[in-house]
Chains A and B, each alone.
Chain A
Amino acid sequence: MSSRTESVDVLESDKALETVADETLTRRDRWELAIERSVLAPARIVWSDLRARVGIAILSGFVAMAIVGTRVIDEPRTGEGDRLEPAFQSLAHPLGTDSVGRDVLGQIVHATPNMLLMILAGGVFTTVMATTVGTTSGYLGGRADRLIMSVTDIVMTIPGLPLVVILAAALSPQNPLVIGVILTINAWAGLARAIRSQVLTIRKNAYVEASKAMGISTPSVVRRDILPNIMPYVLINFVEAARNVIFASVGLYFIGVLPYDSVVNWGVMIDLAYQGGALQSMAATHWLLAPLLTITLLSFGLIMFAQGTDRMFNPRVRARHTTSNDGTDSTASPTGDRR
């Protein structure tokens, strides 16, 4: 009886926890570990995958085009070349010119920043909304879950494209960030539901129960125990959302629903090229192909990146890479923690 009372006393005091670890970490060690876990390990994982390397290379190319390219290549102007100069004929207009003598390469480059902003806005909006709604709903359960999911279901049943077309026509947005959000206005609902169902299974796991039992706050539990499990899924969906923003914006510019003031989007280029008879006459083909290939390349880059990073959130794979710079340490735990 007395020994049992002693044990309870020990447990209630801090000593119980202190005695678990046989070594302590300095502040510096903790930082190193954090960087190791959250930056270097993922980077190594990503770099070890060819698809991710290709994806990163392509995406970096586009970012460079947006940041550096727009400074190096002049903004396209009407009349800077002859009408419909073909591609690969001159250094001044490597991709040729359009029907008002504007450099096609210049248009591709100068539309990039807006495209990237639009993609980013759409992707971030979708994933943040979906993750927040999905995890909250799944983790809380009960009435909150039912209420949130009812709203989600309603949003999900609204037909997406007509809604976007109506919003685009009614609001006539021109800010790329706003356009990005509008284009994905109800894309989050489906993802939120999927995330919720994943959270429902995860929250029953022993380690989640343990965290709860230890009195760790709900946001911390969600962040530490739940989110890492659904991140791969979220990231893939981020990329999906980004791709959808590209296609939707290009499509809406093409059918003329979104207003534009200059060549701000490859969709505008495609629209103008199509109207200029790029499908009927070889003389204008380069004008249509240039934006098409650009879109394809960006989309391809995003897919490669998403597939490559899929492994990044896999705890087992990450653990291996956390220690890969320290070949002698064979005692790494699956979570990357040292024993």
Chain B
Amino acid sequence: MLDDSEHETCDSKSWRRRNVLQAAGLAGVTGLAGCIGGETDDDGDTDDSAFVTPEVVPPENMQFNSYNDNNYPWRAGLILFDDFVYFEKLENTFQPGIVTDWTVTETDATLDVRENVPWHDGGEVTADDVVRKLKIEIYDGSNLGNYVDVGGIDATDDYTVELAFDQPLAEDMFLNFLMEISLDTPESHYQEFLEDFEDGGEGENSAGEMLGEYTIDEPIGSGPFAFDGTAEQELHLERFDDHPDADDINFTGYHFRFLDTNEARWQEIESGQIDGLHTVFTPPNIVEGFPDHIEEFRIEANYGMGIMWNHDHEHFGQREVRQAIAHVIDREETAQNAGPDTEAPVGIPSGVLSNHDGSAEEWLGEYADEFNEYETDTDRAAELLESAGFQRDDGTWYDENGDVLEFQVKAPGGYSDWVDGIQTFNQHLNDFGIEAEFLARDEAAYWGQDIYGDEGFDVALHEWANVQRHPYFSLEWLLDSGDNENVRNYDASEIELPPLGEESGSERYVPADDLEELALADGTDEERTHVQRLAWAVNQDLVMLPIMEKQDQSFIATERFDAVSPDDPDAHVDFPTTYLVRQGKLTAKSE
């Protein structure tokens, strides 16, 4: 669903984050009937049984090069490929994946590669494969490249990789970078691209295809399920018995059915046609209507909806206007309407995650009270607008030229939680005299033309954080990502603000410098100070206005499968429908 143009503007991680959001897709076609049922054999296998989940890419269009944003089925990628490490969000710990152990010092990192993991074409995963992936990531634009030079990544033996840091990087930071990386670059498909990069090229293979355009029809995976084929409307993966996790898996197939609307997915899981859903926003009235055997799993999403301005716009380029709007919108009511059970309003708009448990404020420490909470205060909003040269006449705000202060908020019409949110805060703005209108857009047009294309926007919605929990990543996304230049037209190279925690005065903030220091993230006061300075920049200048933070909803139907309780720490890794399978905690029922 993503447009070609996105590839140039976002790094390799972004597709994943954005695709996660696309879980709330639009316009639907339903799939085929289920294909479950069978007998238990001597090994405890339930023959011919398959776990079925939805996928938004039609099987006939699927291609398996994750660097090509078009038609990459990221959901299938979760089980087809192993990640380097996994992040468990209940206790906030990293779990081993392809990388089983790690040692991180100030100058370098050493990674142990899991042994006996096969590629699906028969070879074994070695340190060379890990090196290839890391190098391609950096050549493709990963921010890991700010800290690690490609020349400093080496395989010292079959199962050990060493990385030399250009700049010190804390262990936590380093692992946060690794958690977004899957081992999906087998030698036969990707070595040519790497060699071209190393020769100074742009990443082109011998056939003249660029990395971002290359397509793979039959993937060579590294995960517990391998590509089997596509049937009508379904992608079929079959268990790869040589994979070390396969011993814990007692069913043989993992199927992805093309279902691109939430409504179709709800309907199919309710009627027993499919067995699991992940990251599908499901309002309470639907959850309540599900039969008892459908278990809900909620995980911190580590992102949420925020208002994004075009800073080149004559009004939204003004800090006072952004602040005034922040004072008008009632974030609590907005979050309540968007997702009563799963959306938490942002407490202090600072770009720091963890609003569900309130720990976001811990990062702000003694300054928490000094940060602007942007509580609903229309008097303050009016003051701010007046100071920016606006006038209210008969309940409507006019700018200096006498034009009505009006704008359209663009968002994909199919993201029902966002749509409910917009309708709510537009009401607040309209009551205040700002004429905000919701402009519902087709999902593909929204991402492809409005956000990452030429169509543009004045005000739009976007997630205000990346999927990583540490403030470094959300603050980097807000203050030092390519989107500032390409999408938001926000110049964050230097920002003039009052000193941290003060109402007046002036100080020069250089977010890039603070981020560099923050990457050391060593748990000291200094780390906290940098977070506070960066959060202060977000809070005062509002590059985006964070509105809410969501919890991802996943569902497993336990009619044919057994799954652990949602309280199990392993159920808090992205995503229960794939990670629990690897852990032997999602198994087929024996009949």
Is B131 close to A, CB under 8 A? no
User: Contact between B424 and A79 (Cβ–Cβ < 8 Å)?
Assistant: yes
Q: Is B554 part of the binding interface, using a Cβ–Cβ cutoff of 8 Å?
A: no
In the assembled complex, B438 has its CB within 8 A of some CB on chain A: yes
B419 at interface (Cβ–Cβ under 8 A)?
yes
Partner of B289, one of A101, A260, A281: A281
B441–A277 touching, CB < 8 Å: no
A255 with B27: CB separation less than 8 A: yes
Q: Are A259 and B441 in contact (CB under 8 A)?
A: yes
**Chain B residues with CB below 8 A from A79, complex form:** 333, 337, 424, 427
Is A24 close to B, CB under 8 A? Answer: no
Contacts of A279 in B (CB 8 A): 263, 267
Whether B266 lies near A280 (C-beta < 8 A) is yes
In the complex, what distance in Å separates the CA atom of A261 from the CA atom of B285?
25
Say yes or no: A284 contacts B423, CB within 8 Å: no
Q: Identify the closest chain B residue to A257 (Cβ).
A: B442
Q: Given the complex of chains A and B, what is the CA–CA distance between A99 and B338 in angstroms?
A: 9
Looking at chain B's contact residues, the main secondary structure is: helix
Q: Does B78 contact A (CB under 8 A)?
A: no
Q: Which residues on the B side are within 8 Å of A257 (C-beta)?
A: 442
CB of B266 within 8 A of CB of A262, answer no
A100 at the interface (CB under 8 A from B): yes
User: Helix, strand, loop or mixed for chain A's interface?
Assistant: loop
Interface string of A62-80 (1 = CB under 8 A from B): 0000000000000001110
Interface residues of A in 256-291 (CB under 8 A from B): 256-257, 259-262, 271-272, 274-277, 279-284
A275 pairs with B270, CB closer than 8 A:
no
Tell me if A169 and B427 are in contact (CB < 8 A).
no
B285-A284 in contact (CB<8A): yes
- A20 CB, min distance to chain B CBs, angstroms: 66
Contacting residue for A78 out of B263, B427, B439, B445, CB 8 A: B427
A83 interfacial by beta-carbon distance below 8 Å: yes
User: CB distance A280 to B337 under 8 Å?
Assistant: no
Query: Which residue of A101, A272, A281 contacts B286 across the interface (Cβ within 8 Å)?
Result: A281
B416 at the interface (CB under 8 A from A): yes
CB distance from A74 to the nearest CB of B (A): 13
Q: Does B414 contact A (CB under 8 A)?
A: yes
CB-based contact A276/B437 at 8 Å: no
Contact with A along B406-417 (1 / 0, CB 8 A): 001000011010
B286 x A169 contact (CB < 8 A)? no
Q: From the candidates B270, B288, B333, B408, name the one contacting A261 in the complex (CB within 8 A).
A: B408
- Chain B residue with Cβ nearest A283: B285
Residues of A within 8 A of B439 (CB): 172, 259-261
Is B34 at the interface (CB under 8 A from chain A)? no
Contact of A276 among B267, B416, B440 (CB under 8 A): B416
Residues of A within 8 A of B423 (CB): 78, 100, 102, 262
The distance from the CB of B197 to the nearest CB of chain A, in whole angstroms, is 39
B26 interfacial by beta-carbon distance below 8 Å: yes
Across the interface, name the chain A residue whose C-beta is closest to B438.
A261
- Residues A84 and B285 in contact, CB atoms below 8 Å apart: yes
Asked if A282 and B289 make an inter-chain contact with CB atoms under 8 angstroms apart, the answer reads: yes
CB <8 Å contact, A272 and B289: no
Residues of A within 8 A of B215 (CB): none
Q: A261 — nearest CB in chain B belongs to which residue?
A: B437
Q: Are B437 and A262 within 8 A (Cβ)?
A: yes
- Is there contact, CB below 8 Å, between B414 and A256? yes
In the complex, the answer to whether A100 meets B438 with C-beta atoms within 8 Å is: no
B442 near A83: Cβ-Cβ < 8 Å: no
Min Cβ gap A310→B in Å is: 39
The answer to the question of B498 belonging to the interface, with a C-beta cut-off of 8 Å to chain A, is no
Chain B's nearest CB lies how many Å from the CB of A306? 33
Q: CA–CA, A279 to B262, complex, Å?
A: 11
Please determine whether B337 and A78 come into contact, CB atoms closer than 8 angstroms. Answer: yes
CB-contacts of B500-534 with A (<8 A) = none
Task: State the Cβ distance, B277 to closest chain A Cβ, in Å.
Answer: 13
Q: Residue among B285, B437, B445 with the most chain A CB within 10 A?
A: B285
CA distance A282 to B414 in the complex (A): 21
Closest chain-B Cβ to A78's Cβ sits at a distance in Å of: 4
Known: A100-B424, A169-B445, A284-B285. A275 touches B337 (CB 8 A): no
Closest approach, in angstroms, between the C-beta of B23 and any C-beta of chain A? 13
Q: How far is the CA of A261 from the CA of B440 in the complex (A)?
A: 7
Q: Tell me whether A281 and B288 are in contact in the complex, defined as CB-CB below 8 angstroms, given that A261-B438, A262-B438 are known contacts.
A: yes
* B434-450 residues at the A interface, CB under 8 angstroms: 437-442, 445
Interface presence of B458 (CB below 8 A): no
Q: Which of B262, B285, B420 contacts A100 (CB 8 A)?
A: B420
Q: What distance in Å separates the Cβ of B295 from its nearest Cβ neighbour in chain A?
A: 17
Query: Which chain B positions have C-beta within 8 A of A83?
Result: 337, 340
The residue that A274 contacts in the complex, of B263, B440, B441, with Cβ under 8 A, is B263
Instruction: Please judge, given known A-B contacts A78-B423, A84-B285, whether A256 and B440 are in contact too, CB under 8 Å.
Output: yes
Query: In the bound complex, do residue A99 and residue B420 qualify as a contact, i.e. CB atoms below 8 Å apart?
Result: yes
Per-residue 0/1 for A141-162: is the Cβ within 8 Å of any B Cβ (1 yes, 0 no)? 0000000000000000000000
CA distance in complex: A260, B445 (Å): 15
Contact residues in B for A282 (Cβ distance below 8 Å): 289
A277:B445 contact, CB within 8 angstroms: no
Contact of A275 with B414 in the complex, beta carbons under 8 Å: yes
CB distance from B265 to the nearest CB of A (A): 10
Contacts of B282 in A (CB 8 A): 277
Residue of A nearest to B435 (CB): A261
Q: Is the CB of B283 within 8 A of A276?
A: yes
Contact: B26 with A256, CB < 8 Å?
yes
Q: Would you list the 6 A-B pairs with minimal beta carbon distance, nearest first?
A: A261-B437, A256-B413, A275-B416, A283-B285, A281-B289, A277-B286
If A261-B437, A277-B263 are given as contacts, then 16 extra A-B residue pairs at C-beta distance below 8 Å, sorted by A number, are: A78-B337, A83-B340, A99-B283, A257-B442, A259-B439, A261-B408, A262-B438, A271-B413, A272-B419, A275-B414, A277-B282, A277-B289, A279-B267, A280-B263, A280-B289, A281-B288
Subset of 10 A-B contacts with CB under 8 Å: A83-B337, A99-B283, A100-B420, A100-B423, A255-B27, A259-B441, A279-B263, A279-B267, A280-B267, A281-B286
Residues of A within 8 A of B (CB): 77-79, 83-84, 99-102, 169, 172, 255-257, 259-262, 271-272, 274-277, 279-284
